[in-house]
Amino acid sequence: MEPLDLRLLQQIGPLDDQAMAEAEARQRNLTKPPGSLGRLERVATQVAGITGCARPRLTHKAIITAAGDHGVVAEGVSAYPQEVTGQMARNILMGGAAINVLARHVGARVLVLDAGAKAELSPHPALISTKVAPGTANIARGPAMSRTQAAAALKAGVDAVQAARAHGLDIVGTGDMGIGNTTPSAAICAAFTGLDPETVCGHGTGVDEQGWRRKVAAVRNALEINRPDPDDALGVLALVGGFEIGAIAGIVLGAALERIPVVIDGYISTAGAMIAVGLAPQCRPYIIAAHRSQESGHGAMLDWLQVEPLLSLDLRLGEGTGAALAISMVEAACRILDEMATFEDAGVSGREP
């Protein structure tokens, strides 16, 4: 697969100030006290700025769940065997996973982007097959991938957004499927924030205390051996990242290029967003954080990104589950902005000057 030409990212522009001003003016005239719907009002204004439409409507919704495997599972960092990545990717394609249930609930379609799963996935209408390689190398022993492979993973995400846009796309959520991927995510968090591995490593999908200690040691080794430079986001991805993390970064960048709001899921998706912002800081305003997960380093990631999550539900599943729930809230915010009556429309007396 061709790598992403990073010069393309220069095309990401700022939010539309005029659309946001018009949205804020309408918010002040809706039949409610100013600011009484809190974050919903601010999110709707943000979406107005992203889309350039003062009254945005989110009809076409999609979750793109990126899949990839990780050589670092050899260090005993996961409670599940590596073959679960492919098995769960197939489950998602068949519509049986949690993300499918929640996506149906919010009216979103689910796409699986195979960026680097070890298993071969059979053709399926919802499968985007752009496998860079069948899993990364072990980050605790050396680089995860080459810089060329990292750029190819980014392009897979950008291309996935563009392909989805051709079939209608007003908002996109990111998701992940990859056994062991909280370990490279923790390494990315530590690389950008400078925090100690013990602070940013959580228990993932349920490793015990010994598994957690192996995970901390793997992240520490990855940082000491590879020495990722936080000022070189592509290098961070190549040295300690994952193919699905790179694809998620590409989804964030692709959404910003297409002026589409992107709702990032939990720990792994936020690691991808950190890579995206490291490459193109101007994409930050296009990001909506779905939730604060149970992973111990997630709060530090969100603080680094300067984004405030919409939800806090103790989620730690991934797949895009939190993103699906948050998309429902973002759509509700935009419907309030678009459909609620103004004081003049309703014949209701406005606030006294």
**Alpha helices, DSSP H only, in 61-181?**
84-93, 98-106, 147-166
Rounded to whole angstroms, the Cα distance separating 16 from 13 reads 9
CA distance linking residue 152 with residue 142, whole number of Å = 19
CB 264 within 8 A of CB 315: no
Which H/E stretch holds residue 62?
strand 61-68
Looking at residue 7, the DSSP 8-state letter turns out to be: G
Helix (H, G, I), strand (E, B) or coil at 120: coil
Please give the single-letter amino acid code of residue 319: E
Active site residue 22: no
Chain position carrying tokens 């769960």: 88
CA distance 115 to 275: 16
Q: Give dist(CA 132, CA 156) in Å, integer.
A: 9
Name the 3-class secondary structure at 172.
Answer: strand
Q: Which amino acid is at 183?
A: T
Both tokens of residue 298? 């997630």
C-alpha to C-alpha distance for 157 and 169, rounded to whole angstroms? 14
Give DSSP secondary structure letters for 262-301: EEE-SHHHHHHHHHHHHH-GGGGGGEEE-B--SSTTHHHH
Beta bridge partners of 291: 311
Contact yes or no for 210/126 (Cβ under 8 A): no
Residue of 319, 331, 339, 352 marked catalytic: 319
Strands of the sheet with 287-289, listed across from one edge:
127-129, 108-116, 61-68, 171-177, 262-264, 287-289
**What are the tokens at 305?**
């990104």
Catalytic residues: 319
